[in-house]
Each structure stands twice: as C-alpha cells, then as structure tokens.
Amino acid sequence: MATINVTDESFKADVLESDKPVLVDFWADWCGPCKMIGPSLEEISDELSDQLTIAKMDIVENTGVPTDMGVQSIPLMVLFKNGKPVAQKLGAAPKNQLKGWIESEL
C-alpha cells in the first residue's frame, strides 16, 4: 500500500483512530532531505503494509498538527500506536536504516 497524505482535518481519523500503527512523515516540498527519503518510505509502505500505515503531512499546507506536536525540524517521522506517539526519528537516513528503525519500534 502506498503512503497516504494526511491533513490537519484528517489527522484524527487517519492517525489517532487507526487500528494499526501509523508512521507520520512531517515534510515540506522545499526540504531536500525530505525528498530523499520519500521513495524509501513509499517502498517501505508497500513492504510493511500489513503491519503499519505510512502517512505524509506537508507542514506548509497543514500547520495545526505540526504546531501542536512541536515540530521544529524536518524530516521528522513520528510513530503512533493506539493514538499515541511512541517513537520519533529526525533527519534522513538510508532505506535499510529507516526500515530497521521502524521494525524495531513495531
């Protein structure tokens, strides 16, 4: 399953009320490292689709949730389980490191 886009309006339903873990990638179009990890997150989303959903939130178009969560630097990935943030990773990394981190937190 490909990544999904979430907005301030859909965040509660898509992330907080999800029946499986959701990794939210806070990003922006002007962020080079964000663009670097995008394809890796798409691949990981397909590979781990039975275990979690990977969602992307553009912090320029959606300011409410990132502000509420105190997002100050991107890319920031936050893993939610049962509606609660349980782990986060700041910055870009190779696909194998991203996938390894995600699997270790599931």
Structural domain boundaries enclosing 50: 4-105
Closest CA to 41 of 13, 73, 79, 83: 79
State residue 80 phi and psi, 5-degree precision: -110, 135
- The number of folded domains in the chain is 1
CATH value at residue 40: 3.40.30.10
- Which residues are catalytic, by number? 31, 34
- Rounded to 5°, angle at Cα 98 from 54 and 38: 55
Q: Walk along the chain (106 residues) in steps of 10 and give the mean pLDDT of each run.
A: 94 97 97 96 96 97 96 97 97 97 96
Helix (H, G, I), strand (E, B) or coil at 24: strand
- Cis? peptide before 75, omega within 30° of 0: yes
Enter the pTM of the model.
0.95
* pLDDT value for 106: 93
